[in-house]
Each structure stands twice: as C-alpha cells, then as structure tokens.
C-alpha cells in the first residue's frame, strides 16, 4: 500500500470512497489510463468536477495522474492489492460503470484517439516528397544496435561528405578522407549543422602514411568504405590493398563502383579513368589484398538517384579482413 494510504486515518478513506462519482473514476481508471476529458465524457460530469475528484483520489494515493503537454491522464495506482477495502472499492466502482454502460465504452474512447491520426494519413500522399536527411539520421541511430562492431568507420574519398551523413549516426567515430580541399570544405559545411563532433575530416592522398597511422592509432576500422572511388584510381588494386590495411582484423571493406560499361563520355564528364569493373576483377582485387569471403552484388537501379551516372549499373564488393590475423605469429 502506498504511504499516503498508510498514513491516512481509516475514517478518511471510508469518507472518500463513499462518493459514487469517485468510485466510478476508480472503476474506469482500473480499466485503462484515461484523460480528464475522456473521463468527463464517460461519466457525463463536467471536467472541473472530474479534476476535483481525481485530485482527492491522487492525494490519497489511489490514482496516479501524469501530465503530457496540456493533458492530464489518470490511472489506478497499481499497488493497491492486499487491502480488502480498496479491492472492494475497485470492484464496486467497476460494477457501477458496468451498470451505467461507461465501462464498455472505454474501448470506444480509446479508439477515438486514433481518428485524427487515421484522417491525417488517409490524405493523398505527396509522391515526390522524401524524408529530410535529419529524419534518416534518426532512423539510422535507431538501427545502429544491429551492427555489432561500430567503433570506427573510414570513408575513403568522401567527396562532399554525403556518405558521412549516413555513417555518423551509426558509428561512434568516423574518419572521412579526401585529397581535395574544396570537397572537404563542402563536407564541413554539410556536417556543421548536424553536430557530428565525432567526425574527423582528413585531407590526404589515399596512400598517404598519415591515413594508416591515424586509423591504426584508433585500433583499426570496423568498416572501410570507398564509394565510386575505384574508377578514378590509377591503380585500383593498390586502393583495395590500402582499404584492407585500414580494417581491423574482422573488419569489413565495402566498395561501391560500376559494372563494366561503354560510355566513353564518362571519362570527360566525370574524369573517370576506368569504365567500370567486372565482378571477377573486384573479387580478384580483394583476394590479392588478403581479404576473405569477397562477394559482389548489384544495387537495383531504382536506388541510384537522378545523378549523371544513374544510367550505369552499380555494384558492391563486400569482403572482410581475416579475424585470425591478430593471433598469427609474425
């Protein structure tokens, strides 16, 4: 029993429970948590009267009232069991509500809460609308627990930082590397409003020893990503080997790039050095770099977006650094 009940003289409790209106409120709040407005609707009493009765019941420890914005919601205190008088009061209150039909209408009142929501979502949707990136960040933060190791991610060739906005909500720390000062300025502006203090922008060439040194200082990366970078690299195999060296034992390497194509114009429009890669090439790069379980799969075209390379076929190389490397003798 709550202390408020234990400290109250018994005669005060009898007087409190002698009012049918308060018994009805006890009965209704034993069924579900209800707002003052809903209780007024169910009992047919004015809201001020309901509020007055609830205040008395709350002070006696019989109901719990909590605020949610401008609404006050009441529910029967859950630890009233054991006192025969209170058990009888709950039963008597429920019997009164059964007789006047208010108890069965509680379910209708609860369903009515959903009417405004149903009406809102029954309106025609804007097919061109997409969730703002801030919403995606919230969703990704919720999903981060599905990734068992998420201490550090490295985005090699980050460009304007678009991928970092997706990685930052998931990983505890992100290092984004690019050799272009202008691209990193754009990335910094993109990230400035997100308060991603755990993102480190690093200006360096891919093969610069400072990149490997920084990542190793942090224990290696759980995920190393290179998105549409490989077709710009003079030596693709060297890039894959570098990505492998950045991953911790057991860490993952993901490379997004194009399947082989014949659009020579990409050399001029996007400064591409290579017109994509065959899956077997990517798997060969990964194997030579010492990565295990390399797999290549195609990304559906509907997910590319309207960019200048949306007419090409995108693919993903996914591989892993051997988790046993750290126990191998040197």
Which residues make Cβ contacts (< 8 Å) with residue 292, sequence separation at least 6?
Answer: 319, 320, 321, 322
- Between CA 2 and CA 25 the distance in angstroms is 19
The single residue listed with the structure tokens 């009493």 is 45
Mean of the per-residue pLDDT values of the chain: 89
Q: What percent of the chain has pLDDT over 90?
A: 65
Burial of 327 (0-12, 13-18, 19+ CB in 10 A): exposed
Q: What is the pLDDT of residues 9-33, one digit of tens each?
A: 777 788 889 999 999 999 999 999 9
Q: What is the pLDDT of residue 327?
A: 41
For residue 108, give Cα distances in angstroms to 8, 14, 54, 105, 111: 36, 32, 22, 5, 5
Structure tokens given for 71: 């609404």
Res. 325: pLDDT tops 90: no
Region 268-279 average pLDDT = 92
pLDDT of residue 10: 74
Q: pLDDT digits over 154-175, tens only?
A: 999 998 899 999 999 999 999 9
Tokens of 202: 């690093």
288: CB partners within 8 A, 6+ apart: 237, 240, 241
298 versus 325: which is more confidently predicted?
A: 298
**Confidence (pLDDT) at 106:** 95
Mean pLDDT to the nearest integer, 126-143: 71
Does the domain formed by 133-327 have CATH 3.65.10.10? no
Is residue 269 within 8 Å of residue 256, measured between CB atoms? Answer: no
| pLDDT score at 132 | 58
Q: What is the mean pLDDT of residues 54-82?
A: 89
pLDDT tens-digit profile of 87-129? Answer: 899 999 999 999 999 999 999 998 888 787 677 667 775 555 5
What residue has token string 């407005």? 37
Between 92 and 190, whose confidence is greater?
92
In this structure, whether the domain defined by 3-121 belongs to CATH 3.10.20.30 is answered with: no
Query: Domain boundaries in the chain?
Result: 3-121, 133-327
């Amino acid at each position: 029993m709550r202390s408020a009940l234990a400290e109250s003289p018994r005669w005060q409790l009898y007087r409190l429970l002698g009012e049918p209106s308060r018994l009805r409120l006890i009965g209704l709040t034993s069924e579900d948590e209800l707002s003052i407005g809903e209780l007024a609707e169910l009992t047919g009493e004015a809201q001020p009267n309901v509020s007055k009765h609830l205040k008395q019941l709350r002070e006696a420890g019989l109901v719990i009232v909590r605020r949610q914005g401008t609404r006050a919601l009441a529910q029967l205190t859950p630890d009233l069991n054991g006192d025969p008088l209170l058990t009888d009061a709950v039963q008597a209150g429920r019997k009164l509500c059964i007789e006047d039909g208010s108890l069965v209408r509680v379910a209708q009142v609860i369903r009515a809460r959903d009417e405004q929501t149903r009406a809102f979502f029954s309106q025609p949707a804007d097919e061109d609308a997409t969730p703002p990136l801030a919403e995606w960040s919230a969703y990704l933060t919720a999903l981060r627990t599905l990734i068992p190791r998420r201490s550090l991610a490295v985005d090699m060739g980050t460009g304007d930082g678009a991928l970092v906005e997706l990685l930052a909500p998931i990983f505890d720390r992100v290092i984004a590397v690019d050799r272009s000062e202008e691209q990193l300025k754009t990335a910094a502006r993109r990230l400035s409003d997100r308060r991603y203090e755990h993102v480190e922008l690093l200006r360096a060439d891919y093969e610069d020893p400072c990149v490997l040194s920084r990542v190793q200082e942090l224990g290696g990366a759980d995920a190393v990503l290179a998105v549409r970078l490989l077709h710009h690299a003079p030596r693709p195999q060297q890039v894959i080997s570098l990505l492998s060296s950045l991953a911790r034992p057991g860490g993952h390497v993901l490379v997004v790039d194009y399947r082989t194509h014949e659009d020579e114009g990409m050399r001029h429009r996007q400064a591409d050095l290579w017109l994509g890669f065959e899956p077997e090439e990517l798997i060969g790069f990964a194997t030579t770099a010492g990565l295990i379980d390399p797999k290549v799969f195609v990304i559906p075209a509907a997910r590319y977006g309207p960019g200048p390379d949306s007419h090409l076929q995108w693919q993903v190389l996914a591989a892993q650094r051997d988790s046993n490397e750290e126990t191998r003798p040197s």
